[in-house]
Amino acid sequence: MTQPRLADHAMLLFLGLVWGSSFLFVGVAVKSVPPLTLAALRCLIGALVLLAAARALGHAVPRGPRAWGSLLAMGLTNSAIPFMLISLGQTRIESGLAAILIATVPIFTLVLAHLFTADKTTPRKAAGTLLGFAGIVLLIGPAALAGVADGVVGQVMIVGSALCFAITQVLVKRHKSGAPIMNAACSLACSALWTLPLALLLERPWEAAPTPEGIASLAALGLLCTGVSHLVLFLLIVRTGPSFVTLNNFISPPVGVAWGILLLGENPPWTAYLALAVILAGIAVATSRPRWAAEAAR
pLDDT in tens, 76-128: 988 999 999 999 999 999 999 899 999 888 888 888 888 887 777 788 888 88
Q: Is 28 helix (H, G, I), strand (E, B) or coil?
A: helix
Whether residue 214 contacts residue 29, with contact meaning beta carbons closer than 8 Å, is answered with yes
Mean pLDDT over 8-33 rounds to 93
pTM above threshold 0.85? yes
Mean pLDDT of the chain: 86
DSSP string, 234-274: HHHHHHH-HHHHGGGGGTHHHHHHHHHHHHH-----HHHHH
Q: Residue 45 pLDDT more than 80?
A: yes
Higher pLDDT pick, 205 / 239: 205
Higher pLDDT pick, 88 / 235: 88
**CA–CA distance from 47 to each of 11, 151, 232 (Å)?**
21, 32, 15
Whether residue 97 contacts residue 155, with contact meaning beta carbons closer than 8 Å, is answered with yes
Cα separation, 138 vs 140, whole angstroms: 6
Cβ neighbours for 51, distance < 8 A, ≥ 6 positions apart? 182, 185, 186, 189
Cα separation, 90 vs 24, whole angstroms: 10
Closest CA to 139 of 129, 152, 126: 152
Q: Residue 150 pLDDT more than 70?
A: no
